Amino acid sequence: MNWKRKDLLGLQNLSAEEIKLILDTAVPMKEILGRAIKKVPALRGRTVVTLFYEPSTRTRTSFELAAKYLSADSVNISTATSSVVKGETLKDTARTLAAMGADVVILRHPMAGAPNLLARTIRAAVINAGDGAHEHPTQALLDMFTVREKKGELAGLNVAIIGDVLHSRVARSNIWGFTKMGARVRICGPATMIPPEIEATGVQVCTRIEEALDGADVVMMLRIQLERQQQGLFPSIREYARLFGLNRERLALARPGALVMHPGPMNRGVEISPEVADGINSVINEQVTNGVAVRMALLYLLGGGGIPDA
């Protein structure tokens, strides 16, 4: 199949075929990453803009490297940490980007739906690099790519997503992605951090981590924002770690060879114990490498480049 969409705003509206196309395209891209000279001319002459309204060195660098390896010109616009840039609206910024001749705009924004607004406004392709509590599709795609690489197949796997699902765009994108590919998804976290009516997305909600881990092939831990305690969403870090932290004993409830994932950055000793984070089940570092490959695939598909040299 061919890629037909202008933008990548989330995984909710992608078909399993489209997801498979992205993952398949990332395979040759990862091969490029293994070369001594990591550069192909696929996007030569194209301009990729990273527009970040929220700081995330990790995601931004991953996209910038992906653009460089495909020979695109990349421009980085980071705004102040404030969510509202005084005087200039997202629409004004969009017009500026259009005037600059951007072909692909990668947007990270603290508000859900900002990429949808941008995509409606400009002709350039828009990639959602995380919007509020809505979606973070490239993170989920790199997670799926990593799992597929290790397990061969996504269909039939048991995936446990544990932590602050309410505020997690990573969780939402992974729920859409994994369920579309035929995996079973369980979510688990404090009752105050389980979004209302989440079951309707096709996931099973577990209140105890032991239940979520039972027979899991993939264990995805989410970062807990420590300030959520001040917002009264959980009573203490200590109790959070005690009820929802992943340690070696708990991991033993999962299938042998279960993968441990984390979108980073980790609170070691809170949601994940150091021994598990650095243990043999952990694929956390590979997630980072695969992130570049998946983003190359997306830039390639959305940027309208030539045949990749692979």
Q: Closest distance between other proteins and the C-beta of residue 116, in Å?
A: 5
Residue 103 or 135 with smaller CB distance to other proteins: 135
Q: Does 91 bind other proteins (CB under 8 A)?
A: yes
Q: How far is CA 231 from CA 28, 133, 207, 235, in A?
A: 45, 16, 21, 10
Residue in this structure with the two tokens 């989440």, named with its chain if needed:
198
Side chain identity at residue 125, one-letter code = A
Which range of residues in 88-96, 214-222, 242-250, 299-307 is near other proteins by CB under 8 A? 88-96
Q: Pick one of 28, 113, 279, 304: the residue that binds other proteins (CB under 8 A).
A: 113
Angle, alpha carbons 189-191-197 (nearest 5°):
100
Q: How far is CA 9 from CA 31, 134, 157, 284, 292, in A?
A: 26, 10, 25, 24, 18
User: What is the spatial distance between Cα 137 and Cα 196, in angstroms, rounded to a whole number?
Assistant: 21
Q: Pick one of 57, 85, 88, 89: the residue that binds other proteins (CB under 8 A).
A: 89
Q: Closest distance between other proteins and the C-beta of residue 169, in Å?
A: 6
Helices 16-33 and 284-303 pack at an angle, to 10 degrees, of 110
Residue ranges in 179-198 that form contacts with other proteins under rule CB under 8 A: 195-198
Residue 53 or 300 with smaller CB distance to other proteins: 53
Residue 60 or 172 with smaller CB distance to other proteins: 172
Q: In 3-state terms, what secondary structure has residue 279? A: coil
Residue 117 or 206 with smaller CB distance to other proteins: 117
Q: Which residues here bind other proteins, judged by CB under 8 A?
A: 12, 84, 89-91, 109, 111-114, 116-117, 131-135, 169, 172, 195-198, 200-201
